[in-house]
């Protein structure tokens, strides 16, 4: 990825928060032989968070560029992480997706005690 600063995601992706649950959006900003870089936006009725993520082509490891997801619900971070891993698993057949946007209902109780969190 070049050192130039990438523009943020289009504002319409996070302008309207969902009434319930949460939405995540992943937008491909760069790819090379080592992996892909995505803009990541998480949105709930309580707020929105954005950061960048890198997914390695070799092992599918997800690394977050910053801790800008602090305060975002753990369950929504896990969904975004799983979507990035899913994109890696489909890489050979479909290539990196240009954009992924999904809405998910909030769990009845936050499963933060039951499942490990992903590091933003």
Check residue 17 and give its pLDDT.
74
Mean pLDDT by 10 residues, the chain (120 residues): 49 64 94 96 92 96 87 93 96 95 84 54
In a domain, 91, yes or no: yes
What percent of the chain is predicted at pLDDT more than 70? 77
Residue 64 in 3-state DSSP?
A: strand
The structure tokens listed for 24 are: 């995540």
- The strand pairing partners of 41, in sequence order, are 25, 50
Residues 68, 102: Cα–Cα separation, whole Å? 20
Q: What is the pTM of this model?
A: 0.77
In a domain, 39, yes or no: yes
Closest-CA residue to 104 (of 36, 25, 9, 27): 25
Check residue 98 and give its pLDDT.
96
For the chain, the domain total comes to 1
Q: pLDDT tens digits for 80-108?
A: 999 999 999 999 999 999 999 998 988 98
Q: Which domain holds residue 60?
A: 17-103
């Amino acid at each position: 990825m070049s050192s130039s600063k990438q523009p943020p995601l289009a504002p319409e992706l996070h302008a309207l928060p969902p009434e319930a649950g949460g939405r995540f959006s992943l937008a491909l900003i760069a790819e090379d032989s080592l992996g892909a870089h995505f803009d990541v936006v998480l949105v709930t009725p309580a707020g929105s968070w954005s950061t960048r993520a890198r997914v390695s082509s070799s092992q599918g490891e997800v690394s977050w560029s910053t801790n800008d997801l602090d305060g975002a619900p753990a369950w929504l971070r896990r969904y975004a992480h799983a979507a990035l891993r899913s994109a890696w698993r489909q890489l050979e057949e479909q290539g990196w997706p240009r954009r992924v946007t999904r809405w998910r209902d909030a769990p009845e109780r936050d499963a933060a005690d039951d499942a490990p969190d992903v590091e933003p």
